[in-house]
Amino acid sequence: MASTTGRAAATLSERVAARRPLLSPAEQAVAQFMADNPQEVAFASAEQLGRFTGTSDATVIRTVKSLGYPGLPSLKRALQDSLRDRLSPAGRLNRSLAAVGDDPKQIFDAVVSEQIDLLESARQSVNPAEFVKAVMAIRDAETVMTCAVGILGQVAEYFTTKMLRQGRRAQAVQASGFLFADALVPLTGRDVVILVSHHHVTPEDEVLLGHAERVGAPVVLITDTLGAVLADRVAAVLTAEVNRDNRLSSVTVTVTILEALSLALAAEQREEVSTAMERLATVRQRLSEAIAEEVVTTRRRRARRRE
């Protein structure tokens, strides 16, 4: 059997297939888990992988070395590099176009079908008990902080608006770098964080999770692949697939989960939310009247100047 040790081009799956006969049963279980879940392995510790596979951190390290990697950090770097290539915007766009073709009608049908499939998948993957936990954590919070970056940052803004209209204190955090730290400073144990993070744990995610733990703020995680890795660091995990075959990510599933949370919260506090909506309608009416009055005043001033 050809050795895969030192073969830079060999993927994790190729190494597992080639080395399987040389592995113990426990090592085979670890190796297969890693081959099946590369996105989770890329950001997991040896201890976490031991828990996921029902083995130990020592077995994980031994398996990694048996597959030809110097150690777990080396394997994780290789997987993270691979994920960056596969999840780049250009790479996903090219895969999407290759899958759907050039005909506009065909593209529309393919996109709609994919969204329906993803939503059906979410119906099965979002655990009802975890959804209830998420609703309760948000319901009891003083402030709802929703954190997301990129296009999902706009989704966070949308959900924050929904929360504000329900009479809740809420803010959306889309910043990165040092500005992200500014947003975290006011967080307390009376607040809740909704973290939307699908494919990898960013430095901001890591800092957020650590800070939330220190101040005692529960975190609700909405994710595609990070549920198992971060489950022991959050109050609730809502797991749903957001793309297929590493093509363009869909915001449809994330928006749907947030819409469901919003409606469930309204049902939990129907009277309070109705009162808040009435206040909103009153403020809107006053704003409309003020704008109309300003328009009339401006027209009168212009008429006087013409005279």
Assess whether 207 and 168 both reside in one domain. Answer: yes
Q: Number of C-alpha atoms within 13 angstroms, CB side, residue 264?
A: 16
Determine the Cα–Cα distance for residues 279 and 198; give it in Å rounded to an integer: 36
Looking at the structure, do residues 41 and 185 belong to the same domain, yes or no? no
User: What is the distance, to the nearest Å, from the Cα of residue 87 to the centroid of all Cα atoms in its chain?
Assistant: 14
Q: Please indicate, yes or no, whether residues 151 and 199 belong to a single structural domain of this protein.
A: yes
Instruction: Please tell me the pTM assigned to this model.
Output: 0.67
Domain shared by 53 and 151, yes or no: no
Within a domain: 52:
yes
pLDDT in tens, the chain (307 residues): 334 433 344 678 878 888 888 999 999 999 989 988 887 888 889 999 999 899 999 999 999 999 999 999 999 888 887 766 555 555 555 555 566 666 777 778 877 888 888 888 899 889 999 999 999 999 999 999 999 988 889 999 999 999 999 999 999 998 877 888 888 999 999 999 999 988 778 888 999 999 999 999 999 999 988 887 888 899 999 998 887 655 556 789 999 999 999 999 999 988 998 998 899 899 989 998 899 888 888 888 888 887 6
Residues 55 and 115 both lie in one domain: no
Structural domains in the chain (count)? 2
Is 273 part of any domain?
A: no
Same domain, yes or no: 33 and 148: no
Residues 6+ apart with CB under 8 A from 265: 135, 138, 139, 163, 166, 168, 273
Query: Is the Cα torsion angle 269, 275, 280, 284 positive or negative in sign?
Result: positive
> Sign of the CA dihedral 277, 260, 225, 187?
positive
Domain membership flag for residue 303: no
Report yes or no on 278 lying in a domain.
no
Does residue 275 lie in a domain region?
no
Ramachandran class of 245: left when φ > 0, alpha when ψ lies in -120 to 50, beta otherwise: left
CATH number of the domain enclosing 165: 3.40.50.10490
User: Domain for residue 51, yes or no?
Assistant: yes
- Given this model, what pLDDT does residue 106 score? 76
Give one DSSP letter per residue of 197-240, joined into a string.
--S---HHHHHHHHHHHHHT--EEEEESS-HHHHGGGSSEEEE-
Asked if residue 155 is part of any domain, the answer here is yes
The answer to whether the beta carbons of residues 141 and 170 sit under 8 Å apart is no
Q: How do residues 164-190 score in pLDDT, each as one tens digit?
A: 999 999 999 988 778 888 889 999 999
The per-residue pLDDT for 110 is: 77
Residue 144 contacts residue 191 (beta carbons within 8 Å): yes
Tokens of 248: 């363009």
Provide the pLDDT for residue 93. 52
The DSSP string of 104-158 is: HHHHHHHHHHHHHHHHHHHHHHS-HHHHHHHHHHHHT-SEEEEE--THHHHHHHH
Shared domain for 145 and 80, answered yes or no, is: no
Residues 127 and 198 reside in one and the same domain: yes
Name the domain boundary from 52, 86, 120. 86
Q: Do residue 151 and residue 49 come from a single domain?
A: no
Same-domain pairing of 66 and 172 = no
Q: Domain range for residue 68?
A: 12-86
Q: How far apart are CA 73 and CA 44, in angstroms?
A: 10
| Distance of alpha carbon 231 from alpha carbon 235, whole angstroms | 8
Q: List the one residue out of 198, 226, 191 whose CA is nearest residue 212.
A: 191
How much is the pLDDT for 84? 62
If asked whether residues 56 and 162 sit together in one domain, one would say no
Q: Answer yes or no: do 125 and 211 share one domain.
A: yes
| 8-state DSSP, 9 | T
Q: Which CATH number do you get for residue 16?
A: 1.10.10.10
